[in-house]
Homo-oligomer: A and B are copies of this chain.
């Protein structure tokens, strides 16, 4: 019933955005919202908003707009946020350790249920109520704690070995912070977070402007 066609990357990104806007409208007590308003808050066009939503059904009332709580609920279901997810963090270096303490994931339904690392000196450390385990434990832990996704925050050199263990353990979603392209088997989804790449896009934009004026 829900997703008949192939849904593109950008649609999903925009849905995430709409959801955040809806939640803030919900807090503000607004009951209904138009595609126009959603577009204003998300740097898109009203038509785009309607197209995006119509890919998953027709949730709006003509002449009225969309019901804020209802639309929020619908989008949550679409994005798989109507349940909680069990996540393992692999790598507690600079980035990894910041992520353990970061509350954003938990708020959105992603529970970190295990922490692993390759570095022996880090094993056994306590982070909140979790203890750092060695990466060799991954397969057991994934099974025992029903881990569905992994946040990969290890240095580039460590990626191949770790990635192999992760995929073998049956994990089907990876959020990758290492600045490399992960080669994964069919059926495993990878999303990359690459801060330096975004910085490069910035410096590209700024250098270009200078050249133009």
Residues of A within 8 A of B (CB): 2-3, 7, 9, 12-13, 15-17, 20, 41-43, 78-81, 85, 94-95, 97-99, 101-105, 108-110, 148-149, 172-175, 179-181, 187, 189, 191-209, 211
Contacts of A202 in B (CB 8 A): 149, 173-175, 189, 191
A183 to B, closest residue via Cβ: B43
How many angstroms between the C-alpha atoms of A174 and B201 in the bound complex? 11
Return the contact of A95 from the options B80, B98, B200, B211 (Cβ within 8 A).
B98
| Chain B, Cβ-Cβ closest to A87 | B199
Q: Which single member of B41, B80, B175, B195 contacts A181 (CB below 8 Å)?
A: B41
Set B42, B80, B193, B209: member contacting A203, Cβ < 8 A: B80
The 7 closest A-B pairs by CB, nearest first: A98-B98, A80-B207, A80-B203, A191-B198, A189-B205, A173-B202, A16-B197
Instruction: List, in ascending order, chain B residues with CB within 8 A of A194's CB.
Output: 16
Contact B80 A9 (CB under 8 A): no
The answer to whether B98 touches A172 (Cβ under 8 A) is no
A/B interface sample: 23 pairs, CB < 8 A: A3-B208, A3-B211, A12-B200, A12-B201, A15-B200, A16-B201, A17-B197, A79-B207, A94-B102, A95-B102, A97-B98, A99-B195, A104-B196, A110-B199, A149-B199, A149-B202, A149-B203, A174-B202, A175-B202, A187-B209, A191-B202, A192-B198, A193-B193
